[in-house]
Structure 1
Amino acid sequence: MTDLVTSTRPSRRAVLAGTAATVFIGTRARAADIRWRLGLSQPVDSPNFIRLKEMTDRVRTETNGRLDISMHGGGVLGSDTKMLGMLQSGEIEMYNAGNVLGPIVPVTEMPGLPFTFKSPAEVFKALDGDLGDYIRAELLAKGIYAFRWGGDNGFHHLTTSTKPIRTVEDLAGMTMRTPVQEMTVDFFAALGAVPKKFPLSQLYQVLKDKVCDAQTDPLFLIVLMKLYEVQTYLSLTNHWWSGFTFTANAAAWKSLPDDLKAVVERNVRISALAQREDVARATAAAIGILESKGMVVNQCDVSGFKKPLGAFYAKWKGIYGAKAWALLEAHVGKLV
């Protein structure tokens, strides 16, 4: 009996070995946890932040904490240009990019060419498909992994503090805040305006200080950023579309285990589709809200905006390249 008890009772050495193994496994599990940072300039009450926060929460839950993505919204990490640099260097692993990728990959600007697409549905048919595949490949070559499912920002209109824009002639000499892309600057310069580039984080202050008379943005963003406090007129032009490209540092993404990649991809898609619906609802309600805040709304005659577009398109076709241009025209029809 004694021999049986002795043989079944673990030795002190075995107990210590088992304890050591448990500690090692626990330490290894903690070391395997992956902590990423996600930066974006959009406010914390925006559809972008809200839906991406939901995405990161789901990823954390579904991976049992193996991948923990912390959110840094409202530009707390710096300007969009700074965050893009941080993404490329690996200082942050994820970034929700607006109209800032053009200086690195010019073809990212193509969906925002003026008076090409007519609806968000048309845009996303192209971006979720072949045109988007081409753009994503170009970004990957620059070390940026772009997810297939991006967000909506909507079609742009003009707001001004001095007078309404009724025809293209009203733009002559008007200082216009634009995004950082040269294409947007070139367009407004061709119309006779005086474009000035400022990041989104500075937009409200630039308008408040009268550094610029006018600016271009989608309806829901005008509401979200309370631009009605610093602008009087809203002129409906529907001149171009803008959206968001959700990105990751390519090296960091490549190093992620395949099962975690699948979780992230699935949840990015869920959040992107929900964000698009949020923006559609907010856009539909925006004009009524802006009018209630005292903005004067008018429909602009944009026929004059389109007169210089032949030469404009020819120039930018040369910059973007024939292959990319052919993919675009397959969706929107012949431009040049």
Structure 2
Amino acid sequence: MTHPIRRIGPALTGALVAATLGLSLPAAGFAETTIRLGHVLPETHSWNIAATGFAEEVAKATEGRVKVEVFASGQLGSEKEVIEGMQIGTIQGGVIGSGSFQFVEPKLGIIEMPYAWSSREQAYGALDGQLGSELAALLDAQGIEVLAWWENGFRNITSNVKPIVEPADLAGLKIRVTPDKVRLATFELLGAQPAPLAFGELYSALQQGVFDAQENPLSIIDSSSFFEVQKYVSMTGHIWGAACLTVSKTVWDQISPEDQALVKAAAIHWGTEQRAMVAKSDADLVATLEAKGMIFNEVDKPAFVEALAPIWEQQTDVYGADLINLMKSYRQ
């Protein structure tokens, strides 16, 4: 008499194989999981420091059932490449600037609309609340699990040509921007000549004079040594950006619900730590970068806000009235 293997469920089959081979299965049939987590920033940046802490906490909390290996400085590819890898399951995780997800889900751009947030705390409230939940659901539909919302910070403009004080100062300036439509439209509206470029190529492009200017948070200006190839820092604070700690749904579904809860708790804990690092570094970095030769100046922010107001109307069809109204409820 034969006993068809198809009558045995996959969990039981795995248990039988494990018993035969003298192996043990963690957590009711869920295999041990290794997450290769990539990001594009240097090892000295808060993303990497927090990701390393996250990895250590996950390993300890799950007793080694989930392991995280952190790869800094674009070792796993550009942000676009990491996102694409997560969607097809060839890359397990990443710390990604929220704006970089726009090529798979345009509505993620709402976080980085010009002058959307009056303070980082206002943005935290939205992303830790319903806005963050709805945006995470959109990425879930694209095969990506958001573990926690971390921070990129307020972006400021650097230039090796002149200080930027009012919008007219950007006229004709060749500026590198992130590869998303809203960022390009923002600087086109300001009269600049924006062009996208992968972050890993930015330092050499500035060094070679391909661009006159770029825009990034102070922490990135410092950790990426842009002070060596840029002179002026104009404190536009034109965009606050989030960072998304994400994993591929393919790998996420291999982790037991109990361990998923532990991983998410570690992600949120290190998100709080990472946000605090960014806030502290912003307070200290002006003096640090001035000591490295950079010249700081304030800008006419009301003039920038007025000049960029049309961007909001242009994006209404992209984000939809419901999402825009939800965001407005956090901005009041």
1:129–1:27 CA distance, 2 compared to 1 (3 A): closer
Structure 1 residues 185-334: aligned runs within 5 Å: 185-333=184-332
Identity of aligned residues (%): 29
Aligned amino acid, residue 196 of structure 1: A
CA deviation after TM superposition for structure 1 residue 206, in Å: 1.4
Kindly report which structure 2 residues correspond to 1:147-166, keeping only aligned pairs within 5 A, or say none. 147=147, 149-166=148-165
Is 1:167 matched up with 2:161? no
Residue 111 of structure 2 corresponds to 111
Deviation, 1:27, is: 5.5
Which deviates more, 125-134 or 55-64?
A: 55-64
What is the Cα deviation at residue 110 of structure 1?
1.0
Offset at residue 196 of structure 1 (A): 0.8
Deviation at 1:188, TM superposition (A): 0.3
In structure 2, C-alpha distance between the alignment counterparts of 1:132 and 1:62, rounded to whole Å: 25
For 2:60, the aligned partner's letter is T
Measured in 2, the distance between the counterparts of 1:236 and 1:63 equals 43
- Deviation track 1:190-227 (CA, whole Å, cap 9, x = no partner) reads 01000010122122111111111011111121111111
The alignment covers a number of residue pairs equal to 313
Q: 1:32 to 1:133 in 2, by over 3 A?
A: closer
Which runs of structure 2 are paired with 1:61-76 in the superposition (5 Å)?
61-76=60-75
Rounded Cα–Cα distance in structure 1 between residues aligned with 2:151 and 2:30:
37
Aligned mates of 1:228, 1:54 — CA distance in 2: 28
Alignment check: 8 A CA contact 2:219 2:282 kept:
yes
Q: Given the two structures, how large is their TM-score scaled by the length of structure 1? A: 0.89
1:144 is aligned with what amino acid? I
Aligned equivalents of 1:97, 1:177: Cα separation in 2 = 18
Q: Distance in 1 between matches of 2:35 and 2:310?
A: 45
CA RMSD of the aligned region, Å? 1.9
Match of 1:50 in 2: 49
Q: CA deviation at 1:301?
A: 1.3
Of 21, 26, 43 in structure 2, the residue corresponding to residue 24 of structure 1 is: 21
Report the AA paired with residue 106 of structure 1: P
Cα distance in 1 between the residues matched to 2:168 and 2:224: 28
Please list every run of at least 4 consecutive aligned residues from structure 1 whose deviation after the TM superposition is greater than 6 angstroms. 20-23
Q: CA deviation at 1:26?
A: 2.8
**Alignment-mate amino acid for residue 128 of structure 1:** D
- In the TM superposition, residue 299 of structure 1 has moved relative to its aligned partner by 0.9
Larger Rg: 1
CA distance in 2, matches of 1:177, 1:27: 52
Q: Is the partner of 1:280 in helix, strand or coil? A: helix
How does the TM-score come out when normalised to structure 2? 0.90
Structure 2 unaligned spans of 5+: 1-16
> What CA deviation, in whole Å up to 9, does each residue of 1:75-102 have, x standing for no partner?
0111111111111110111111113101
Q: What secondary structure, in the 3-state scheme, does the structure 2 residue paired with 1:32 have? A: coil
Q: Distance in 2 between matches of 1:70 and 1:236?
A: 35
Report the Cα offset of residue 321 of structure 1.
Answer: 0.9
Q: How does 1:121-132 map to 2 (within 5 A)?
A: 121-132=121-132
Could you tell me which runs of 5 or more consecutive residues in structure 1 were left unpaired when the two chains were aligned: 1-19
Q: How far apart are the structure 1 equivalents of 2:22 and 2:53?
A: 31
Q: Which position in structure 2 is the counterpart of 1:12? A: none
Match of 1:152, SS state, is strand
CA contact (8 A) 1:168 1:302 kept: no
SS where residue 163 of structure 2 aligns? coil
Q: Distance in 1 between matches of 2:18 and 2:224?
A: 55
